[in-house]
Amino acid sequence: MSESPPTTPVCYRHPGRETYVRCTRCDRPICPDCMREASVGFQCPECVAEGRRSVRPARTAFGGGAAGRHGYVTKALIALNVLMMLLSIASDRGGDAAIGGSGFGGLMGGSTPLTDWGSVLGNAIFPDGTVGGIAEGEWYRLVTAMFLHYGVVHLLLSTWALWVLGRYLEASLGPLRFLALYLVAGLGGNVAAYLFSAENQLTAGASTSIFGLFAALVVVERKMGRDISQVLPILVVNLVFTFTVPSISIPGHLGGLVVGALLALVFAYAPRSRRSLVQLAGGAVIVAALIGLALVRTAAIVGG
């Protein structure tokens, strides 16, 4: 009785191709087109895909994505602030900011139609006789104000601080948590300005968010066991400027500082086992509290 000749293995994905190479994970024959180089030997495409699904993505110490090291959110926020400054200058078609001595487009701190539209304002009667402000339903001002600036110098100071602080915090917290920190701190500063400023006083600037970033940097560094002796003097200097330089919103800066610190504490000290849930819930509670305070202020203005 004659024996049948041994058959040559063929690629499991390409039956017409003979091969003697096998996947080191599943041991199936694979042709050169299906070989994926591995640490030992070769693997088939399916085993490579399965391996990628089983590998957990890199996370920061606070649960954020490692993509934050690229600083994409920081760069996007800077670009948005610059864009809003350009739109602010473009909105000043009548040239009032330049002719009035404040500098082109409010270079030295003048207002423009766009800043009048988007700054924090409780309640006021405009020159054309219309009434506006947060108490009149313009709630968007609590958000838009953190992206508007009174002049190019104001913008440059804010974007420089955002560039320095933002890249580090974004890498430490991850993109989503850093963005939440920026927005919630800015909201906190704007709500504080709404609560404690005159009803007809306009307030704007990214400094509400920037002070929140300063506070978060202190919290993050302490949590990581790092020295904060170089951070505190810079924060103190900024606080001195806040209380001594005219036209700076003290409530806005302090509000951003406090809210930024609170949210950073939630991010940094959430229990590891339920970190994302606690961080989300803590952030939601802070935002809800800020909205509640704004509602109370609105009721006081309308009722008064």
Burial of 258 (0-12, 13-18, 19+ CB in 10 A): middle
Does 207 qualify as catalytic in the annotation?
Answer: yes
Identify the helix (H) or strand (E) that includes residue 100.
none
254, two tokens: 């302090």
Q: Where do runs of H (alpha helix) occur along the chain?
A: 45-54, 72-91, 96-99, 113-118, 141-144, 152-173, 175-196, 207-223, 231-244, 250-269, 275-303
Cα distance between residue 4 and residue 29, in whole Å? 21
**DSSP state, residue 55:** S
Catalytic residue among 111, 149, 197, 253: 253
C-alpha to C-alpha distances, 236 to 148, 229, 233, 255, nearest whole angstrom: 24, 11, 5, 16
Within 10 A of 172 (CB to CB), how many other CB atoms are there? 23
Catalytic residue among 119, 207, 209, 249: 207
Residue 109 region by backbone torsions, left for phi larger than 0, else alpha for psi between -120 and 50, else beta? left
Cα distance between residue 59 and residue 68, in whole Å? 10
C-alpha dihedral sign at 81, 259, 190, 150: negative
- Residue partners of 263: CB distance under 8 A and separation at least 6: 180, 181, 184, 185, 212, 216, 282, 283, 286
Does 14 qualify as catalytic in the annotation?
Answer: no
CB 70 within 8 A of CB 178: no
Within 10 A of 28 (CB to CB), how many other CB atoms are there? 16
Q: Which residues are catalytic?
A: 207, 253
